[in-house]
Amino acid sequence: MQYKKYGGTYAVRIDLNEEIMQSLKALCEQEDIHLAQVDAIGAANRAVIGVYDLEKQAYHREELSGFMEITSLAGNVTRMNGEAYLHLHGTLADQNHALHGGHIIEMTVGATCEMFVRTLPGEVTRARDQALGINLIAL
Amino acid sequence: MQYKKYGGTYAVRIDLNEEIMQSLKALCEQEDIHLAQVDAIGAANRAVIGVYDLEKQAYHREELSGFMEITSLAGNVTRMNGEAYLHLHGTLADQNHALHGGHIIEMTVGATCEMFVRTLPGEVTRARDQALGINLIAL
Amino acid sequence: MQYKKYGGTYAVRIDLNEEIMQSLKALCEQEDIHLAQVDAIGAANRAVIGVYDLEKQAYHREELSGFMEITSLAGNVTRMNGEAYLHLHGTLADQNHALHGGHIIEMTVGATCEMFVRTLPGEVTRARDQALGINLIAL
């Protein structure tokens, strides 16, 4: 991973075989990022994505591999339990031009990933919502 | 809906069973937003999406229901006839990991929706284009 | 194409039958844009998209035509060889509500395209990476 800050926005390059969630978490820790909007494109060679089932309070998971384009990857950085908390959703196009998408659990870079992390002046925290089974932002 | 402003950007949380277009419209009215870029992720339990047919000047509509991830939701706020005008496109992943997408006519939150509304200093209005049958922004 | 700058962000309208990559390149030249984040929605009537095969170091291309919604179109403007270099990925919904997506090689507007080009204060250049066969950003 390489990154550089331009105004309040980090331009980030994540490299072949680096896992994107871990890389972004590391960036947030190194740079003490508390609130940010995230947008990226690139290529992946592996991903674990999920679609949430509110009744079962669990994600239907799908594991993907092979050369894929990251057609969109967007979300936010907030804080929970004193740590950076990442929430990203994305879509991927595979070699057969079929699309896959959902909540991003893991995604490994297949060639390069180009990300913008636009920091916002403030802090937003999350708290567990027992009825939904997810961590909601508190504003 | 909860929201808070950080710099020129609103972080917005829209809650279970709230309709996203109505919520965003209410935000724009309450906060007098005239021009903004919108980006969101989250989950939906119902959506009406459309793909425009330029010859028929009408949208092919598709109504979706069930637990879905909002993999992308992006667009803008401008002004028309003295009111906030919303234009959003999005993609959704269903429980079978199939993707759906188009122009967003309605979308109801399935768990939570996390949105950024980045205001821009100015105002952009729309005018009807008879040849296209849509409301174009005027710059 | 019409455009106007609000703060550091260009709001851009690209019109029926204009090619989006050419239009954005022209904007970057006219306005001397060196680094920017790009986001757009709209409609297309033709597109050439690709999914990169790292082994063959070539894109699997797919050519699309017909009325389509641009459900997402995102990426960046950097510099290479003294010129603006565009890197955009996108997803499209066709009249059957099927989704297509990948690296954008060409895309022609089908009704209107509404784009934000958010400039960042700085310059990022690209260099050829022989091992990957692509042009990486250098930070």
Report how many Cβ contacts below 8 Å link chain B to chain C: 104
Task: Locate B11 and state its tokens.
Answer: 């972080």
Q: Which of B3, B39, B68 sits opposite A51 (nearest CB)?
A: B68
Residue of B nearest to C11 (CA): B139
- The chains in contact with chain C, meaning 3 or more Cβ pairs closer than 8 Å, are A, B
ipTM exceeding 0.90?
A: yes
Structure tokens at A51: 């679609």
> In this predicted model, what pLDDT tens digit does every residue of B25-39 receive, in sequence order?
999 999 999 999 999
Residue A58 contacts B, CB cutoff 8 Å: no
Cβ pair A75:B13 closer than 8 A: no
Q: If pLDDT is split at 50, 70 and 90, which confidence band does C3 have? A: very high
**How far apart are the CA of A15 and the nearest CA of chain B, in angstroms?**
23
Question: For chain B, where are the E strands, in sequence order?
Answer: 2-6, 9-15, 36-53, 58-80, 83-93, 99-119, 125-129, 134-138
Task: Indicate which of C30, C114, C117, C119 best probes the interface with B, i.e. most B CBs within 10 Å of its own CB.
Answer: C114
What does each C-alpha distance from B5 to A56, A93, B10, B11 come to in angstroms? 34, 35, 4, 6
pLDDT in tens, C21-55: 999 999 999 999 999 999 999 999 999 999 999 99
Enumerate residues 14 to 43 of chain A having a beta carbon within 8 A of any beta carbon in chain C.
16, 39, 41-43
Q: Render pLDDT for A68-126 as a digit per residue (tens, 0 to 9).
A: 999 999 999 999 999 999 999 999 999 988 999 999 999 999 999 999 999 999 999 99
Per-residue pLDDT, averaged over C56-72, amounts to 97
Q: pTM for the full model?
A: 0.98
**Percentage of chain A exceeding pLDDT 70:** 100
pLDDT at A120: 98
Judge whether A3 is closer than 8 Å to chain C, CB to CB. yes
Residue C54 to residue C50: CA distance in whole angstroms: 12
Tell me the C-alpha distance between B63 and B49, whole Å. 7
Task: Provide the shortest C-alpha distance from residue B91 to chain A (in Å).
Answer: 9
Report residues of chain B scoring pLDDT below 70.
none
What distance in Å separates the CA atoms of residue B3 and residue B31, rounded to the nearest whole number? Answer: 10
Is there a contact between B137 and C114 if contact means CB atoms under 8 Å apart?
yes
